[in-house]
Structure 1
């Protein structure tokens, strides 16, 4: 399977470094949709940054498995078998004695209508774009000769199956062949065939009729109601955020439409606050509170009395609760919405020491570091930063903290803007350079269509542009989206952005992100006509940006 496609399935389940504690016994049954037993099947619990399994176990001949893990936090269980599509599901591990699942795997092929087959392997680094096309004979047996310079030759088969107008790209997978001495898991949901060879080339044959074929859809079910509720809450929050951001984009520059969207969040908040009062189950109350905090994160225009209630509900959640693992960034929302008061800071400190889910501990420390930095509390900033780096060195929150709060070298007030040459998004044959922007005040806006605060600030930037529009002021928006089409769609359907634009691939590792030391979005850099940096902000909204620009322009 393409590792990138597999990672898209895992992208919502961010990486965590897990720690030992009381083990949880994960067990269950796995069946093929064909009804026949698997010659081989495996269960993997994944939590690492590259999606590779951290612990695995084999399914026995009767379809049963047991896997013991001392992990804590949100992880991902994946069940795989040769010639079957993998199934996966988010799980939450918090020291419970057992966790039961039930799974059925569908076959890779649903029919025998094959367009073409190619082979990939060590000889081409398993790349889809330059595989060798296999040739069928009159009996439908496919074959190809591949280089085999090593004693162990690894390969996979890529089948392009006819399905009406043609297969979707996400249905094209690399799977093991039927000719092998052993099978090797590829860490992306499928297997590789391994042949022991002595010749410089090896002829590989493949018979489609040997593959299991059946109609039906695979699934993986969590048998524990608490697990299902945690996953449902996580998915509900992600859906709310996704839908709100898309609706905001679709609303364009219509202020009435934007107001309606914020009103809809007020309605949701009111309903959850009312339901909270009627709910008697403490754990369900915790999950409701997480949903409330997602509304608070999306809008600064909510009823402050209701927001105050949500803050109170949140700080009444036991600091050790696994519920925070469903939405760790809510801790940052809580700290911000409360104004960073002493009680909330103390609560986050308790979370950072008492919560065993290590996707939660670094989140609490990260937001405490940020709050201390914003308030120039160097002692607290250093203390929390040291705890974060020493106890969670490989966590993504730690990476962000290093980028955000370790002193940077180039993008600081008083230094000259580094030299750059980026293609103009609208006119790729033309370039935007640092030297071409000299002689005017420039606001460099680093943003992305998937960034809620960025999208919300488009209207404020437009007002700012209209206020200072002229030869002495320019805005350059630099998108960190992975897909340039997302930017085009936003430009077409979203708020007006009548200034220069840049997009380069790479997201956080793109040239602009690295040059301008981007750790969080939105990020604003204000430059004077001499090319000197006079303002740098991370996550600063409307009025704050206005003040920086107005002061720079002498107003």
Structure 2
């Protein structure tokens, strides 16, 4: 019996090894040497999995059990974490990688620092100021803490390439946090703590992260990712600038010139997986171009080739399904692409993805081709996907009986003013003016991009019978207060609705995404929903108020 069990176990291990491999290598610091503490972990949706601590030489080994795209975060004490994603091409062959991390870029001549820790649930909004005692030293004293062990991080020392909470210079030991940085940990039997952050203990060095795969195939793949990331950053920069300046009539030549770089990169790939990866990035670029009024002539051949070789039931479609609508604007959804989309919706095993795709097709059809067909598709999502999130949003946006429609009265609501809690804002208090209702949040990039236009519009028309009501769906009201203490003062009516996308405001105004703009007339009738902003809003108000 024992012999049989051993044989079965050996067979199990043999089969398991046929379907799994490892990622192994070294993590080093900016100077090429091992770091006193470093880790690698799987990262997905802001969560950590399979955390592995590197040994004293920086060596690590972490299991890989599947094909497809994987993402790992490499991190080390006093260094910026490095996220590396790649496609696992052979699940039986070990993959070797060496990662040299970039040292923190510390700010110089800092006069203010704050601290978070177990005493305030590591909440950035509740960060406590440290005391500047001179000579580059900052202190924080905490008495009668609930435990004899305290984890903490410091804010304000690292702000490039983005603001980060980092470990302090004062610690008994360190522990990994949830984002690839580290906590300083202190132990005090008395439960009284006095923390000192000493900038003289920091190193100010210039460095860059380096990622090296030993296998040439993975090295080429990573080089492709780096090139695509650079192209996508350039594409986003051009697109963001166009939105900020409201110059969406014609694609600027430097932006259009990126198309050749994408096409050359696609043509240079000798592996189908790499060719598809570059093609999907090209589709995202075409989606940006599709927002311009004057659509340029573009080449769709690599996209159509990828579609032909990808069956409707393939899980790969989840990587580019939504981008199909971007390319559709360049040619219209031809019969083949329309049938392909319907086949995905019918055959793809990921039913939530299929519902999301159907919801997007409904909107595209209603706005660009045929409202009657779009409403038939709406009926289909209600019947075939009754209980998924996409259907909930479809009901809010396309239900023939929805409240947010031009010509209808705005639903009743009552919200307290953030500036005066005794002031209740309702449709009744807004009567007699044209009012732009702006649903937004401080974390929403497109919302922030509208701020300049909103301020200009408000200044131009505030004395002519125009008002703005901004309704925040932030997690907490204090974020709105803090935001308004910065560059954008928002000197109009401001309220906060608790519950984010489940808030009262989100339900009343049928919010499926932000920003959402609703323009009402002096009789509280809706005259525009999401179709008017920027220069278009100014022109409409000039027409109405002058």
Quickly name the TM-score band, shorter chain normalised. 0.5 to 0.7
**Structural mapping, 1:506-517, within 5 Å:** 515-517=508-510
**Structural mapping, 1:213-224, within 5 Å:** 213=203, 215-221=205-211, 223=213, 224=218
- SS at 1:38 equivalent: coil
Contact 2:176 2:182 in 1 (8 A): yes
Structure-2 separation of matches of 1:244 and 1:41: 37
Structure 1 pair 304–261 and aligned structure 2 pair: CA distance change class (3 A):
closer
Name 1:3's counterpart in structure 2. Answer: none
Of residues 524, 540, 544 in structure 2, which corresponds to 1:531?
A: 524
Structure-2 separation of matches of 1:29 and 1:333: 41
Q: Which deviations, in whole Å up to 9, do the C-alpha atoms of 1:201-248 show, x marking residues without a partner?
A: 334566859967473424142532223323532452343133233145
Structure-2 separation of matches of 1:432 and 1:204: 47
Structure-1 separation of matches of 2:517 and 2:292: 20
Residue 122, structure 1, aligned to residue 118, structure 2: yes
Structure-2 separation of matches of 1:23 and 1:382: 41
Structure-2 separation of matches of 1:321 and 1:59: 34
Structure 1 pair 194–273 and aligned structure 2 pair: CA distance change class (3 A):
closer
Name 1:88's counterpart in structure 2. Answer: 82
Name 2:431's counterpart in structure 1. Answer: 438
Of residues 237, 242, 246 in structure 1, which corresponds to 2:241?
A: 246
Q: Which structure is richer in relative contact order (CA contacts within 8 A, separation 6 or more)? A: 1
List alignment gaps of at least 5 residues for structure 1. Answer: 1-20, 492-499
Structure-2 separation of matches of 1:304 and 1:366: 28
Residue 44, structure 1, aligned to residue 35, structure 2: no
Name 2:143's counterpart in structure 1. Answer: 147
Structure 1 pair 501–193 and aligned structure 2 pair: CA distance change class (3 A):
closer
Residue 101, structure 1, aligned to residue 97, structure 2: yes
- SS at 1:343 equivalent: helix
Structure-1 separation of matches of 2:401 and 2:487: 29
- SS at 1:261 equivalent: coil
Contact 1:24 1:68 in 2 (8 A): yes
**Structural mapping, 1:446-465, within 5 Å:** 450-451=445-446
Residue 158, structure 1, aligned to residue 150, structure 2: no
Structure-2 separation of matches of 1:220 and 1:372: 45
Deviation of 1:31 after TM superposition, in Å, equals 1.0
Structure-1 separation of matches of 2:438 and 2:195: 55
Deviation of 1:517 after TM superposition, in Å, equals 3.1
Contact 1:441 1:474 in 2 (8 A): yes
RMSD: 5.8
- SS at 1:239 equivalent: helix
Structure-2 separation of matches of 1:505 and 1:232: 42
Structure 1 pair 149–334 and aligned structure 2 pair: CA distance change class (3 A):
same
Structure 1 pair 476–337 and aligned structure 2 pair: CA distance change class (3 A):
farther
Residue 33, structure 1, aligned to residue 30, structure 2: yes
TM-score (norm. length: structure 2) = 0.64
Structure-1 separation of matches of 2:209 and 2:391: 35
Structure 1 pair 62–353 and aligned structure 2 pair: CA distance change class (3 A):
farther
Structure-1 separation of matches of 2:210 and 2:293: 40
**Structural mapping, 1:184-199, within 5 Å:** 184-195=175-186, 197-199=188-190
Count matched residues.
479
Structure-2 separation of matches of 1:403 and 1:23: 45
Structure 1 pair 167–329 and aligned structure 2 pair: CA distance change class (3 A):
closer
Contact 1:159 1:173 in 2 (8 A): yes
- SS at 2:192 equivalent: strand
